[in-house]
Structure 1
Amino acid sequence: MLDGADEREVLWAALDAIAALGPFTAAAAYLLHDGRPHRRPPPGGSANGAPPSELPAVGAHLDRRIAALHGRSRRLDPADPWLRALALRHHGRCLGYLVVRARTVPTDEEIALADLLARQAAVALANLALARRDRARAAEHERLRSAEIRRAADLGATVSALERESAYHEALSRAAASGRGEEDIVQTLHEHTGLPALTEDRFGNLRVWAGPGQPPDRPRSDSGPRNELLHRARQQPGAARERDRLVAPIAMGDDLLGLVALVDPDRRADRTDTSALERTGLVLAPVLAHQQKLAELEPQLRRDLVEKLISGQATEDAFTHAAAFGHDLHRPHRVAVLQWPGPAGQAALGHAVTRAAGQLRLDVLVGSRRDTTIALVAGLDSGAALYRAVSEELGSAAGAVGVGGRCDCPADLPHSYDEATRALTVRRRSQDPHGSTDFEELGLYRMMGTGDGEREADRFVGEWLGALLDYDARHHTELVTTLSHYLESGGSYDAASETLRIHRSTLRYRLQRIREITGHDLGDAGTRLNLHVATRIRNVLDQQPG
């Protein structure tokens, strides 16, 4: 978009980009001249490659509506809620409008991207105006040279300055295209001017420094002078002096993102340095706006992707979306579900999981659902290492991790999520609620964690242990515990009495009472098996989630 040969190409490049990123179609483009909008047809034919007969109607009635907008974005037709004009504003001035129509109701993210592209188009138009001003200045210099108004020395200086500006423009373009972002752009400004260069956010906090040594300690400005500087940067395009610095705004439309500055206490910056500073501000604007938008959207987009994957609603686009976050969904994954009590909350737990996965050299996508944090982990063998790493990050081991089975394709992730949830439920209801449990470790406990499974387990425990549980409740005895330890010891009187810390005769008496109360024959192998299973299930069900 920034390389368009003229305003018309910039306008229609922006419309094409908006149409490519959402359910929008291009309707019309307008450029303001002397305060009046002038419609600009698409270069080389109709919008989006459509024949003219298929373009939306853009007659005189639309021109009149655009003229009545007075520099604001708004809906154009009450009968058509998604025929909308996007004002192209830069430094408080409206430069034109993009008119789009939505085929379907756009999402908040699609609307935000459309607004961002409109602001970038405004910056591109301003950049064209600046380039035109530079060309006009060069033409004026050439005219003066031809007329021999300037002396030869002045002419040489002018040509040198223009060559220097042109060289800087090329260097700045290379830095912006390198993909290394703000740091490379500020370093290019420093190398071009020979002066220390820096960027600050709108609150005066240093973002990037390029120059010899360390950035000087600057006391934070009072809000009054700082606000005055920001107001001047909004109202007055170009660079301005602030004590020992030249500063220029970094802005997208009316949104001031920060400042770029040259440290110049000796006031040796010349016109080409000032022009370089201003151009740097223009180039940095879309870079910082993109970073800001990503910072706002990326966490929610990650959560949305994880939710679609574990609910089975993901499409083939999920591979592309995951790749945009640096994650390869083609690899085998396991789903881990985590719960950690404490005031930090899910956001802190999600960050801890990401850092822990990095320490373990695991690729992870993190999301959340209700009171649990969900991690889709590639390369995870078991949950134990993840539990330990997250515990170290949070400084607390009072949490639990449930891990589902391996998924060779994203379509298996909902099943792995269900397994991880059941594993977490069993862990939280066990006698040791803190730690990790893999679904493969559950054995007969796999029925736990689901409504039908737990109801069937309750019935099974009631059938085999109901009378004994009632007796313990009425008489405050521990016959169920005695039976559990006896069966866990394999029917050994010595091992069970030692574990219970009672005499062998006391154990025999209790076992006899158990036979009398339940009517079960403890010598029958099938009976012992059912009682053993029932006591184990009861040990899980009897615990409350932590």
Structure 2
Amino acid sequence: MLLRDLLAVAELRLALLTGDDRLDREISGVLITDLPDPGRYVSGGELVLTGLMWRQEPADSERFVDALVKAGVAALGAGDARLGLVPDDLVAACRDRGLPLLEVPVEVPFGAVTEIVGRRLPGLAGTQVGELRSALGRHRRIVAAVAEGAGLDELFSLMASELGVTGAVISASGSVIAGELPEGHAVRLAREYLAAVRLPVVAGVDGPFTVFAVDRSDRAAGWALACRGELDVEIGFELASCVAMERTRMEEGRRVERRLAEQLIALACSGAADLSELSARLRTCGIDAAEPYVVVTATAARRNATEGPDPAVLGGQVVEELLGRQVVAAAGADGSVALMPLREHGTADALAARLRERTALLSAGLPGTRVSIGVSGALTGPSAIRGGVEEAGHARRLADARGGGVVTSDEIYTHVLLLATVPGDVRRSFAERLLGPLFDYDRRHQAELVRTLGSFLECAGSWNACAERLHVHVNTVRYRIRRVEELTGKNLSSMADRVDLFLALRAG
């Protein structure tokens, strides 16, 4: 069947948008897909029909059309059910690459196009056409439901009833977003998702699951679709595209919430707003004026990366997923900031424990990404926001200095915070100046002056306690400490000198 013959079918009302000089192309078959790269499923000569679910940004159109041209398809048919029109960027991409583009009206089912092509292609039996029509009908019902606003729960219901596919959408931190899956299974599948070199991957968790990436989000903040059984890859990609469409829709609503949170935090930190205005904005963000909450700050950085997502933005996305999307995180210059009510976790320590558990999963699965999170103490009322942001920020910077993880406010009111604020080269220089002679002596004489000094300070200067800890005679401890004093020029009976050596040991 020629492309011009298909356009001549009046009942389809197809409109040619590009390629009027290529109407004599032969159509060998039809493929309906919303995969970002369907090239592997076409062999050349097909008419590809798409609902445009793969398009999240204009640049996606060039990537999609490039894949089709490379595969040698005859033409592309775009439905306008999702966007209400065929976007200009897709028209331009097809025109520039010489690919005929047809607009399929919203009221024309893709199945009708497929049926007409099937009737005119030689060798396609009636039973094959019927089976294809039935499969297309199931696919179309799912796609149409999602395009019309069906949520994830409805999508999973349709997946089960129309395709017999069950499973769940999970986050990278192992929480179940939609569907049904035991928490332990979700955590194990999240590990498989994070560790996979390529997706999809088949993972064995109480039977096989096929795990697909939902979209092109950074994997640390990504979602995965885990379907029971070894699912056909094309079906899985189509379903993952449906989930991605719903995630995009959900994200639109969260942008408004982020703006409100940004405004609240900016006003609170500026000190320019009165308490009544801050109280009103706090309630708008879902926290009652008398309700306890904590401030959580976060960054997520790829080690040695010169490009990629902003650490503050990615940190905000990660912390939102770690907290089950119960909060929104406002990205700032020094990290993202979120206000988390304690109504579910009870205490700041319990919340921090949950964050540590989930952050450890990310760190193990993505060793190249450093997630640093700071948690303030429990706060109440709008006047505490500014101090909470500062407190959580100090904790987050301490976590970053440690190489990532979760730090609470309890840990920052110590010498550790002071050391964390000192540049690394200054800390190393300080430690080297005081302790360098001891390390040199230990290397030359196989002595243990550094170890003895550390134990002596930890034992609060007790000769006997230090000797017991090191399993040596007390006179040995006295001799070693004298050598420490001689080599460093410090007097360990002086509190100031003890502090200097203690900090040097911690700074190195």
Which TM-score applies when normalising by structure 2?
Answer: 0.41
Normalised by the length of structure 1, the TM-score is 0.38
